[in-house]
Chains A and B, each alone.
Chain A
Amino acid sequence: MESIEQKVKAILAGIVRDVEGIEGALLVDNNGFVLSSSGIVAQSDLDLIGGILTSLANVAIKVGEELDTGGINGLIVEGGKKQIYMRKIGNYKTLIIISKRETPIGMVTYIARKSEPMINEVL
């Protein structure tokens, strides 16, 4: 029988597999610790990445509260070579997707939205 971690990992692997250009996906808790990951991010220092990106997402939420944006569903960081998309999953988790710069961001947000209920169901 698959553990919760294995199930989450399978969902993240699906994200990486299903959209061309996505290089990695992580699920991080509010403490900044990576619960599961798939793709090239597995070779990186996950606690550092998870900690900083979770802070970024939480800061965006704070800014959203101040500006009355009606919540923050997602956050995009554009780099010269890569882009990072972050989406809050419930109150305590953040889904992070790292993709090549040329990957259509609509595809990235679509797969994140599609995966959200699957992750919620597993957790």
Chain B
Amino acid sequence: MGIEEKVKERQLKATNIFIASFIAGLNEMGLLNQANVLWASRRAGRSLSECARIRGFVDQAPADVYEKAKFFLEKLVEMLDLAVRKEIKLEGNILSIKIYKNTCKFCPKGVGGAQLEGTLCPYPGMMHEYLKKLLEGQATVEMVTHERAPMVQDNEGCHIAFKIIPA
């Protein structure tokens, strides 16, 4: 699929193409893999939690800690416009997000063209740290991993999940 089709299908802006291609370029040089993207993206998560505070999301959040976590994640997805089709769910103490296939706007493989076997997704680390910071003192947030991988991919798309444990 060429860039023109991707731009239409995923409603991409130049920013999306720049970031996804930049991450893909660092991977091509051997500098990035999923483990260190996970680390680096935590810093972005911390900064974005500050952004959420500045925008007043902390004051607008529901009182219930689970609903609060869901609200914060929805706001993050909204702020960054991460994907065309996504679904955020709260089932018990598990907060999850599904990003439907071919709709992610920052995918280093799908948008940036990275050639690799695994993933290079900046979302799990960013979301984890963002939620941890915003829920500090109210809940601990654990990333749900699968054989150490922070996300699962299937025919429908990418799945990222967090366990919310009230303090």
Give residues in A with beta carbon < 8 Å to B.
29-35, 47-48, 50-52, 54-55, 57-62, 92
B165 CB-CB contact with A under 8 Å: no
Q: Chain B 27-56, CB within 8 Å of chain A: the 1/0 string?
A: 001111111101100000000000000000
CA distance A34 to B39 in the complex (A): 14
Contacting residues, chain B, for A61 (C-beta < 8 A): 30
Q: A59-B29, A59-B31 are in contact. Are A30 and B118 (CB under 8 A)?
A: yes
CA distance A60 to B147 in the complex (A): 27
For B35, give its contact among A33, A59, A60, A62 (CB under 8 Å). A33
Contacting residues, chain B, for A50 (C-beta < 8 A): 35
Q: What 10 additional pairs, Cβ within 8 angstroms, besides A58-B33, A59-B31?
A: A29-B118, A31-B149, A32-B36, A35-B148, A47-B38, A48-B39, A50-B35, A51-B35, A55-B33, A60-B30
Interface footprint category on B: 10 to 19
Q: Is the CB of A55 within 8 A of B39?
A: no
Contacting residues, chain A, for B116 (C-beta < 8 A): 30
Say how far A31's CB is from chain B's closest CB, in angstroms: 4
Q: Is the CB of B34 within 8 A of A31?
A: yes
Contacting residues, chain A, for B35 (C-beta < 8 A): 31-33, 47-48, 50-51, 54
